[in-house]
Amino acid sequence: MASFSHTAAVALASLEKRTRDDGSTYYAQSSDAPGWLSRLVYDAHNGELPNDTRYELIRDALSSLSDHAVESEEEAQDSDLISEISLDLLPSSSSELFSWFAAHSSRVSSIDEALESGRISELSSYEIISEGWRMDCEEMLQTVVSSLEEARFSVFNPDTDCELLLSDSHGRYIPKLWANGISDEEEAEEHGVSWRDVLICQCGPDSAPELYWESWQTILDSAEWMDLDGQEWRLLQNGDLWAVRADVEIPAEWLV
């Protein structure tokens, strides 16, 4: 399972900056973004249609959460940390703040919430709009934190979610070496593979090459087993042969 800050970093890396024909820039999800990121972005929009200002704030929030290196939802939801991040992200000029509120009519309600909460000590126009902005930002941060906590259980962590079984130095003998570790039909069944395919691979690549590679591909596609702690694993070969947790989303760069 990935740490909270690592999950934030994964989400951040999956938001890319793009340029429109008119030269304006915006953030969008990359083509290889994890499936859970769409839900995080949707929830962080808080009922708004997708828009540039919200996407940019989501991106900034993810950057800040990853930089703070928090390890759990409890740490990230700490009111002092949320307040600190919203202050760090606060636009430096009044014009930026006005632009934020002008981008969507619902954001004005955050000013009312800030006034009702008593967090504004003096009724200067800057303090009113800045505290309204921070109120909106903090609500979004809490939503992002909750989404990240839910997602981190499926985010790949190379330190805990994989184990190297055989290096690519074994070349075409990797299927045979793995299959040699399966002693009987019952053990093959426990690994979710066909005993026939295991036997074919145990004969090696020179006996019947076409059957050898067909059986190995079938094993790669179907192998799945449970360890003593109840964690399910499966096989992945990207040159090296790995055991990887069955419940995590493998990064695209591992699948080449």
How many Cα atoms within 13 Å fall on the side-chain side of residue 136? 28
Q: How far is CA 166 from the centre of its chain?
A: 27
The reply to whether 106 and 225 lie within a common domain is: no
Q: Mean pLDDT over all residues of the chain?
A: 90
The reply to whether 35 and 131 lie within a common domain is: yes
The reply to whether 139 and 198 lie within a common domain is: no
The reply to whether 84 and 187 lie within a common domain is: no
According to DSSP, residue 57 is labeled H
Domain end, chosen from 120, 154, 188, is at 154
pLDDT in tens, 146-163: 999 999 888 887 878 899
Residue 138 in this model has a pLDDT that exceeds 70? yes
Containing structural domain, residue 201: 162-255
Number of domains in the chain: 2
What does the alpha-carbon distance between residue 1 and residue 7 come to, in Å, rounded to a whole number? Answer: 10
The reply to whether 82 and 180 lie within a common domain is: no
The reply to whether 83 and 183 lie within a common domain is: no
The reply to whether 147 and 186 lie within a common domain is: no
Question: 218-246 b/e with 16+ CB inside 10 Å = b?
Answer: bbbeebebeeeeeeebbbbbeebbbbbbe
pLDDT in tens, 6-46: 899 989 999 999 999 999 999 999 988 888 999 999 999 98
Are 26 and 55 within 8 A, CB to CB?
yes
Say what the pLDDT of residue 1 is.
65
Say what the pLDDT of residue 102 is.
85
